[in-house]
A = this chain, B = another copy of it.
């Protein structure tokens, strides 16, 4: 019975009946095939396990990153995509060095308390013997400015800026607070600080420090910068209330090594009718080094490969060219994304859509967009097809970081929007492991991404 309906519907599809978004139409049949394939024979979870457990962390320039390049290349080859290739890109090569040491020293008793810290990505190290200075705590840049050079010079600035948990979306909290991680070191250095500490970027209070990139502002001295776990941030804040002369000792041996060669990894299925129109689906292959880069962004790259694998497996010959791109170096440089856009421009490629998955492999909620209204209106016509999978929200703005350099070429951008209430437990921490990934949630995201890419390929934009 089921089989009969399916064959009937496929024959309608093959006869080229025009697009409808409701009822027993070709689209709904293909969508069901996509969904069934991923739920019953999906490879995304198994691949994610391999990436996390056999390869592990993939900091740009590391052996892990190189392994991941080769493995994703080989796996896409094994799936029989039309073309699989590496795109060379020069990348920064920052290394963490030895485990960082951070401790608070009571000015009265001299007692020392070890704290959970981690160097921020891109930070310079301390001198070999470490740096030690009084701490000055600020909640934000306003407080920093009020202190001025007089209050900051020679000290270590401690940005204790909690996430605003009254916001509904953790990504909004992150967006509001992350400047203290990004440019806090430079702003502290501007006033003569010798190092900076930032409260970890999370709405949870726990023992895990969250790394992440900093950005040194030109012409300002580069000072060492670390993140401290939220629990220890609260402890340190209390300690300072009791002993305002508390010192902080920081030792980090992180450093920038010379730039090196790395790669974006690209797999492609050629369009059968409009091969010159390209749709990109991607995530970033690099990760931070503290764990396995499971949700950030193993899930995104594995989902992107799954999109192509699924379409090929169920026999869809996409009308337009579909490209899975594993971008290198999103976390500390975005070089992969920039190089990809540069090459696209040089080759005068026509990208009609770029979709990123880089917000965790959680259950999908919708897609955010960054595109002209007319293009978005076309996509909104497909909205009902996503509703059964719980992807209902197309209201948010934004594409992904890796695809953002395509924007100036006028490429419509999109990002998968998963539920992110659990994201900042693990984001950029030692907790970002395979065990945090739920199989069905990951598959649900893969399904809606595949549907989106299928529709864009079928109908254009």
Residues on A close to B: CB < 8 A?
Answer: 35-36, 39-40, 165-166, 168, 170, 203-204, 363, 365, 388-390, 392-393, 419, 421-422, 425, 438-441, 444
Contact = CB atoms under 8 A, between A and B. Distances in A.
**Copies of this chain in its oligomeric complex:** 2
B440 A421 contact: yes
B165 A40 contact: yes
A168 B35 contact: yes
B166 A36 contact: yes
Contact of A363 (B393, B419, B440): B419
A297 to B, nearest CB: 20
A282 B211 CA distance: 42
13 contacts: A35-B168, A36-B166, A39-B165, A40-B166, A168-B389, A168-B444, A170-B440, A204-B439, A365-B390, A390-B393, A419-B419, A421-B444, A422-B441
A392 B389 contact: no
Nearest to A205: B439
A363 B35 CA distance: 23
Given A204-B439, A425-B438, 18 more contacts: A35-B168, A36-B166, A40-B165, A168-B388, A168-B389, A170-B440, A203-B440, A363-B419, A363-B421, A365-B390, A390-B393, A419-B419, A421-B438, A421-B440, A421-B441, A422-B438, A422-B440, A422-B441
Contacts of A35: 166, 168
Contacts of A388: 168
Contacts of A422: 438, 440-441
Contacts of A40: 165-166
A290 to B, nearest CB: 21
Contacts of A39: 165-166
A255 B406 CA distance: 67
A36 B166 CA distance: 5
Nearest to A421: B440
Contacts of A170: 440
Please list the 6 inter-chain residue pairs (A to B) with the smallest Cβ-Cβ separation, ordered nearest first: A421-B440, A36-B166, A39-B165, A392-B392, A421-B441, A363-B419
Contacts of A168: 35, 388-390, 444
